[in-house]
Amino acid sequence: MRVLQLIYASRPFGFDAAALEDILAVARHRNAQDGITGALICRHDLFMQVLEGPRAAVTACFGRILRDDRHVEVSLLWSGDAAARLFPDWTMRDDSVPSWMWSREALAAGAIAGATAEEARQVFVRLAREPHQCGLVLHATRH
């Protein structure tokens, strides 16, 4: 069954571990109800997330994200149909940004704005293949 995959990036506003823990708790609860899976890559200067699931549910979730004041400069990087989910067992996987991703300098120089849709998608394809490195939330588990 085909699903919608949507990838966006944003800049956190007031980033700290407590805010991230709240984001993940709410996302995991709501995503389980809505049939959404995905992953959130996070650090103090970047949120990058893939959402995957039924078109209406993913679109509604992205609408809520756009209104969330815990981040700014939301950029839609890719949205399209996929034959399969990258994160089928995760209502929301969390990871800090792996070392192979953009440096702080590259982000400051506009790496997100210059990334193609396929480059953004490949970040999550690669992340889906890697073992989970628990991010800032120490008790995060599969949901």
What predicted TM-score, i.e. pTM, was given to this entire model? 0.79
Alpha-carbon distance 140 to 67, whole Å?
25
Overall average pLDDT of the 74-101 stretch? 85
Q: Which amino acid is at 17?
A: A
Two structure tokens written together for 31: 């995503």
Two structure tokens written together for 24: 């993940």
Specify burial of residue 124 (Cβ count, 10 A radius: 0-12, 13-18, 19+): buried
Highest mean pLDDT among 33-42, 114-123, 132-141: 33-42
* Parallel, antiparallel or unpaired: strands 93-96 and 46-53: unpaired
Two structure tokens written together for 106: 């590259």
- Give me the chain's average pLDDT, please: 84
Which pLDDT does position 56 carry in this prediction?
97
pLDDT, greater one: 58 or 2: 58
What are the backbone angles phi and psi of residue 71, rounded to the nearest 5°?
-150, 160
